């Protein structure tokens, strides 16, 4: 049976933190490695965190229809889900976990031939998001401002997802997502 889990929400809300937790808890899940043309950050690894490529290579993947969805998430910066990742994970007899931006998630839901499980992670408020992005230390003040502007627009979409979880107390959010994913993986339809 094909099952896909989508984790989405604004940048800095804790998607990757909760995604890493789910991957530890559920060995039947495998992380879908997205493609992007953004520069690689310290500590990241090509092929593990993203398939890093230049803009021309990304645009070629769009032209050749190799992406299930893609978004220009920030000006000039593309992110997309490779169809080949879902096939690779299927071959492993595992289920893909997609950690993608909100509009990418909506497109995955539209483009898949079956219904995935979709989780929207919400912050307590926008101020908390700002603090998390600042503490993470991976973005310039200008980028943080852009990400916060986008967060307001993205948060209006949360009702379109199966579950909305507030990531305030991390251990509480972890147990909520784990319980939802557990039910989904056990379900037979």
Minimum CB–partner distance for residue 54 and ligand ADP (Å): 23
- Residue 42 to residues 39, 67, 131: CA-CA distances in angstroms? 10, 26, 21
Q: Which does 40 bind (CB under 5 to 8 A by kind): ligand ADP, ligand 5GP, none?
A: none
Query: What's 30's DSSP letter?
Result: E
**Choice between 67 and 181, CB closer to ligand 5GP:** 67
Q: Tokens standing for 60?
A: 């070629």
Q: Is 137 left (phi over 0), alpha (psi -120 to 50) or beta?
A: left
**Choice between 16 and 90, CB closer to ligand ADP:** 16
Q: Tokens standing for 18?
A: 């909760």
101 interacts with ligand 5GP by CB under 6 A: yes
* 30, 34, 37, 118: which one binds ligand 5GP (CB under 6 A): 34
* 37, 81, 118, 176: which one binds ligand 5GP (CB under 6 A): 81
**Choice between 81 and 176, CB closer to ligand 5GP:** 81
First and final CA of the chain: distance in angstroms? 8
Burial of 35 from C-beta contacts in 10 A (0-12 / 13-18 / 19+): buried
104 interacts with ligand ADP by CB under 6 A: no
The span from the CA of 110 to the CA of 44, in Å, is 30
3-state secondary structure of 121: strand
Q: Binding segment for ligand ADP among 40-48, 50-58, 61-69, 129-137 (CB under 6 A)?
A: 129-137
Query: Within 10 A of 29 (CB to CB), how many other CB atoms are there?
Result: 20
Q: Which residues bind ligand ADP (CB under 6 A)?
A: 9, 11-17, 132, 135-136, 167, 170, 173
Q: Which residues bind ligand 5GP (CB under 6 A)?
A: 11, 15, 34, 38, 69, 71, 73, 79-81, 99-101, 104
């Amino acid at each position: 049976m094909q099952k896909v889990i989508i984790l989405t929400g604004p940048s800095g809300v804790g998607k990757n933190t909760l995604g890493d937790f789910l991957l530890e808890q559920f060995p039947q899940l495998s992380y879908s490695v997205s493609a992007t043309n953004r520069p690689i950050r310290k500590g990241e690894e090509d092929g593990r965190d993203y398939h890093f490529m230049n803009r021309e290579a990304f645009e070629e993947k769009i032209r050749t229809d190799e992406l299930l969805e893609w978004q220009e998430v920030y000006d000039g910066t593309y992110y997309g889900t490779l169809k080949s990742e879902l096939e690779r994970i299927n071959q492993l007899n595992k289920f893909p976990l997609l950690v993608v931006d909100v509009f990418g998630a909506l497109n995955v839901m539209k483009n898949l031939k079956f219904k995935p499980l979709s989780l929207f992670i919400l912050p307590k408020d926008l101020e908390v998001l700002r603090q998390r992005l600042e503490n993470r230390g991976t973005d310039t003040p200008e980028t943080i401002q852009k990400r916060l502007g986008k967060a307001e627009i993205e948060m209006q979409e949360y009702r379109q997802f199966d579950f909305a979880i507030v990531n305030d107390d991390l251990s509480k959010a972890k147990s909520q997502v784990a319980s939802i994913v557990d039910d989904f993986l056990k379900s037979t339809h």
